[in-house]
Amino acid sequence: TPEATISVNTDICYDDSTIIFFPYDSDSTFCHWEFDGITKIGGSEDSVKILIVEPTGTAQLVVEERGCFSVPEEIKLNRKPHFDFFYDNRDCCLPCSIEIFADPQDENLTFRWMTDSIPFPTGNSNIFVFSEPGIYDIGLIAESDETGCSDTLIKTGFVKVSPQPIAAYDVDYQVALIENAN
């Protein structure tokens, strides 16, 4: 009876895609794959490139050799969280205070914001206060309560803070030549 073995590290959190394979392939071996929360996007019969669509997906393999079938081997793979962050207007003038919002694309995510002043405030939004003009990077860490996987997103140059403009004017001619001029 053949033995189904899936070669992949199940202890790590993957980006969206990875390769899983059956390491003992021979000319008489046929691999039968089934997926839940995972989509096959390429590869051959014994080496499959997959896209992990859900936070957690399962892959099952049954190996057939000379008409004999193995016991199914099933593994669970975890994907890093999908998320983003945004705010309506990325340009502001001093003094500048903006609220940036997390955009969770998976359920059950916890967020920690990366800031210079307060170490890792948590929540679905954070208020950033800028006291100097410049271009600022913003970072967010998401952790999945479902899988324990985390990922970091840093957007460089995300906020542009301009100095406060100064209103001023000059008169072209210092002397008015009109009688009773104001």
Q: Please state whether beta strands 91-93 and 150-162 pair in parallel, antiparallel, or not at all (unpaired).
A: parallel
The full DSSP string for 145-158 is TTT--EEEEEEEEE
Q: 79-116 burial, b for 16+ CB within 10 Å, e for fewer? A: bbbbbebeeeebebeeebebebebebebeebbbbbbee
Q: What would the pLDDT profile of 91-133 be if each residue is shown by its tens digit?
A: 788 888 899 999 999 999 999 998 776 667 899 999 988 889 9
Among 7-16, 29-38, 86-95, 115-124, the least confident range: 115-124
Q: State the residue for tokens 């189904």.
A: 4
The model carries a pTM of: 0.80
Distance between CA atoms of residues 153 and 114, nearest Å: 10
